[in-house]
Structure 1
């Protein structure tokens, strides 16, 4: 999270710009709304829907401009005011709903902390293995599930505002939940785009050199492009439950949540077994011709997870990561649009801190937070990220090892698959035999033996392929290490040149 100095810098920068334009589309949806509903005093542009409550929390920098030096955050916490906000919330995370409710009556400060939505979100997700019916807020959802007889609709959802409460941590959590993606975060589109290229062109120009590309026109024959709207999916999926974070939900229940969700890290549906649960979904699309070779298929039922349906509201997505098992991937947008930011394997994105063995990655809490704090710095980098907005009907190729961040700009539906081709086979085999492969390999129950099983299956299905690829790799390496013409004529002893006339 950024401190008061960084926050003030962001605010001053925005005040120098022209004020954000009021969205006439939102005015039509709710004629009672004014421009004030979409901009904050600090010049940030907020989402058109009703902002989620922050109980009067202000950024810490505002305390220095206040006529009173009083911070009710500290007085209300008493002796534990010296703890950071993060630590206070970590401690409160050990409490159940009943105790949070009681503690919220102790002081105004505890009222704010105990109503922090992520606390109640965790309680709901921990207790509702069979899904949940979202009731406008996570606290209301918890209460409704805990006591179904109680009518949460009769309880005011806004609560009350606490005067002179300053906290960067809580304010930014609210801001990230309500902030619109800024135009400057979306305007750069520097990815290579291609339409109608041959498979050989794709392999030679993009897969072999390990470069991302956005492909157009690949989904024109997909039944999903015409059929996959909300009504169709709810009807076809029925009572099937799909993976949403740590739980499983019926699709209709997830859509109810997605319609109301306005939080820093919205949940999104990301299910690797969707085609087994609802075979019709697997029949509504086909793999684009560029990605037909998928060597993991030789493992049959033992292959790692490789395909997912992705459904999420605006603001949901994936923070920076590298796709599993050193595979490459393609991601096809059926409905909506997605902002992509990609960095090559040798460039770690700013604000991202992978562990030495690659088993863990520390990064900002939310995608919006990364854009607020780190995106601007990438504009001065020598190796700039590859960026684009991938729209419905388009497919992006993500080469192996590339860092990437994805955020839904609107309600979106997509299909993605990870694959292994001959161009990437040796990389995958090397990855699977790393000493710590058991902590790195994902999507399979047998992490330890996956390398041996995969290599053996390849040798049976495609005899001689691995040896052939290794010889080509060694030849290519030798060519790269071969001295150039100028190196060959240089006298290594004298440091000068020798000419053989």
Structure 2
């Protein structure tokens, strides 16, 4: 038995009116399959092209190692020239990923390959971010610090996305004062004997291919696994729900700084305490001994 996951609805394309009424207002995810076929990026963007236009740039790389107290917020685990990294992706499976790579800042000419779609939300035009991963690499289950509405455009390869809304947080072993669940949970094949609360969580799943867009509503938890080497771009729009917006402000201006302060003060003991509390709080809330 696996996680209780519903397939995310899929549409070929969508109008602004239908998106707002059917997905944004009820805050439901959707995959849009053929919306960007008129973008130059649709035919141009692949790993080889990225190696051509950005090959000489040094890029930050991240893997699946657990969070450590002495690592800064989003501090990379390694660095490599983009051309070397893409050669690695093509050659063999690797856990190294690129995330939150601002293409406007790093390779401005890539802006000419896409447009900001009108879904009825004001997209943050200064923050188009690219994400790369090798075969079987994955992100920890997490939600974004700003609880934004996210449009995730996938290019090359196949990627599996598992989503949960915020109402499922009580089942996910959320680590206090952070945006992640326990990092030792394998959401692709969870051990329910070790993590029994996960059996009660209800989520969503979709596999993305080249040209697909995944809409992730505000504050949705997401776990991304690259089934083959590939990359994606995310565009985001600020949270509109007042509760989510206030939570985003708290995360940015209070929670993150408090967590960093406690890391400096207590070191690895703070990380270990939070990981323990993720289990204690989850099981206590659900009456699991």
- The TM-score, its normalising length taken from structure 1, stands at 0.43
Aligned-partner SS, 1:272: strand
Q: Partners of 2:204 and 2:87 in 1: how far apart?
A: 34
Cα distance in 2 for partners of 1:375, 1:218 equals 38
Give the superposition deviation at 1:375: 7.4
Conserved in 2, the CA contact under 8 Å of 1:329 and 1:417?
yes
Structure 1 residues 196 and 260 mapped into 2: Cα distance closer, same or farther (>3 Å)? Answer: closer
Correspondence for 2:167 among 346, 351, 355: 346
Tell me, yes or no, if the aligned pair for 1:328 and 1:399 is still in contact at 8 Å: yes
Residue matched to 2:278: none
Gaps of 5+ in 1: 1-183, 298-302, 442-501
Is 1:256 aligned with 2:74?
A: no
TM-score (normalised: structure 2): 0.72
Tell me, yes or no, if the aligned pair for 1:206 and 1:212 is still in contact at 8 Å: yes
Q: CA deviation at 1:350?
A: 5.1
What residue is the counterpart of 1:267 in the other structure?
Answer: 96
Uncovered stretches (5+) of structure 2, i.e. residues with no partner: 63-75, 258-289
Between stretches 216-225 and 372-381, larger displacement belongs to 372-381
Larger helix percent: 1
Partner in structure 2 of residue 439 of structure 1: 255
User: Contact 2:60 / 2:80 at 8 angstroms: preserved in 1?
Assistant: yes
Distance 1:200 1:397 in 2: 15
Secondary structure at 1:311's aligned position in 2?
strand
Alignment partner, residue 187 of structure 2: 370
Q: Does the CA-based 8 Å contact 1:258-1:313 persist in structure 2? A: yes
Name the CA distance, whole Å, in 2 between partners of 1:359 and 1:336.
Answer: 30
Q: 1:238, 1:250 within 8 Å by CA — same for their partners in 2?
A: yes
Conservation of the 8 A alpha-carbon contact between 1:239 and 1:250: yes
Structure that is richer in strand per residue: 2
Shift of 1:280: 1.9
Q: What's the counterpart of residue 318 of structure 1?
A: 139
Q: Bigger radius of gyration, 1 or 2?
A: 1
CA distance in structure 2 between the aligned counterparts of 1:207 and 1:341, rounded to whole angstroms:
18
Residue 328 (1) aligns with residue 170 (2): no
What is the RMSD computed on CA atoms of the aligned residues?
3.0
1:280 aligns with 2:109: yes
Q: Does 1:208 align with 2:25?
A: yes
Equivalent residue number for residue 220 of structure 1: 37
> How far is the alpha carbon of 1:259 from its aligned partner?
3.5
| Larger RCO (CA within 8 A; separation ≥ 6) | 2
- Summarize the Cα distance change of 1:291–1:331 in structure 2 as closer, same or farther, 3 Å threshold: farther
**For the Cα contact (< 8 Å) 2:61–2:96, is it kept in 1?**
yes
Pairs aligned (count): 240
Q: Secondary structure at the match of 2:246?
A: helix
